[in-house]
Amino acid sequence: MKNSKETRTCIGCREKKNKSELIRIVNSKEKGIIVDLKRKEQGRGAYICKNEECFKKTIKNKGLSRALKTNVNDENYNEIRGVMFD
């Protein structure tokens, strides 16, 4: 890994990876919980691998709620799944 500024930890599998290998999810004051594909949105962010297993682990262990410090409901998870896998 090149630089510690470029590595992040997946909230599903807890592996450290380069930012370009992960998807950023943001809790924005204006837009709520969104998937930030361009990595430019303001707000508290969390990173997750681009695979279904990590996404399922995140739902099971409520990792996204902890990382974003807010309640993430089923509707939010469905929207995130739609952007990540469709």
At 68, which CATH number?
A: 3.30.1230.10
Domain that holds residue 45: 4-85
- pLDDT confidence of residue 86: 80
Q: Into how many domains does the chain fold?
A: 1
- pTM score: 0.89
For residue range 6-48, list pLDDT tens digits in order.
899 999 999 999 999 999 999 999 999 999 999 999 999 999 9
Size (the chain), residues: 86
What confidence tier does 2 reach under pLDDT thresholds 50, 70, 90?
low
The values of phi and psi at residue 46, to 5°, are -140, 150
For residue range 21-30, list pLDDT tens digits in order.
999 999 999 9
